[in-house]
Amino acid sequence: MVNACAKDALAAATQGAVRPNFGEVTIRSRGRLPHWEKDAGVYFVTFHLVDSLPQSVLRKMAERRRLLQTARRSGRKLLPHEEAAFAEVNAKKIEEYLDKGRGACWMRDPRIADLVANALRFYDGQRYRLIAWCVMPNHVHVVFRAFPGQKLPGLLRSWKAYPAGMANRILGRRGAFWEREYYDRLIRDGEELDRAIAYVCSNPERAGLHNWRWVWCAVPDKRR
């Protein structure tokens, strides 16, 4: 659990991390997944390199989105076989795929990892407040609070666009660097926030990346 000192340190960043009332949350469809958004919300976001997930998983994600939209339009619950399809591409499964280190893993290169880390920090305190982040070899996790009026898609663009262009130049390549889709979770309460922080800050160790330096947490004792 977060101790008293850590709670004080996080107070400014996490103020407002409470379960939103009906009507405060906007559900926006984009790409393969629906996104739940709230003004000044606290989020756990994951984005990844373009080659870090197999095409079979990407196709299942697209099918998941189609099933969800169909069920929503008809006002019905998902059928058992549809629930099973969702389970195949849930957040835990996606994380397992990413932690296997599939693809070119360009962010193993310290120059590329630094580009991404610097992009995360660039608008910290102006557009959002960082709570925890880690840059893994093929994906990135961020826990943060968006400032009022800041939209999630715009914040993601600010983290992805510049590093992608510079990384391609360094690597001598062209084409997409990031997968267009990202995964976001709207944090509803303190316990969920605590779990997200612990997950992000321990991700390098769980993936076997010892002494990995591209990880930061506002609660130092969560890095274990």
Task: Output the CA–CA distances (angstroms, integers) from residue 158 to 82, 153, 155, 172, in the order listed.
Answer: 35, 9, 5, 22
CATH of the domain at 140: 3.30.70.1290
Total number of domains constituting the chain: 1
Q: Is residue 60 part of a domain?
A: no
Q: Is residue 195 part of a domain?
A: yes
Each residue's pLDDT expressed in tens, for the chain with a length of 224 residues? 344 434 544 554 544 433 444 334 443 444 433 444 455 789 999 999 999 876 666 666 666 666 666 766 777 776 666 555 555 555 666 776 677 778 899 999 999 999 999 999 999 999 999 999 999 999 999 999 999 999 999 999 999 999 999 999 999 999 999 988 888 888 988 899 999 999 999 999 999 999 999 999 987 655 44
Q: Is residue 32 part of a domain?
A: no
Reported pTM = 0.72
- In 3D space, the residue among 170, 159, 19, 56 whose CA is nearest the CA of residue 109 turns out to be 170
Q: Is residue 197 part of a domain?
A: yes
Q: Is residue 171 part of a domain?
A: yes
Q: Is residue 91 part of a domain?
A: no
Residue 17: give the domain boundaries: 4-25+39-54+104-222
Q: Is residue 165 part of a domain?
A: yes
Conformational region of residue 180, where left means phi above 0, alpha means psi within -120 to 50, and beta covers everything else: alpha
- The amino acid at residue 6 is A
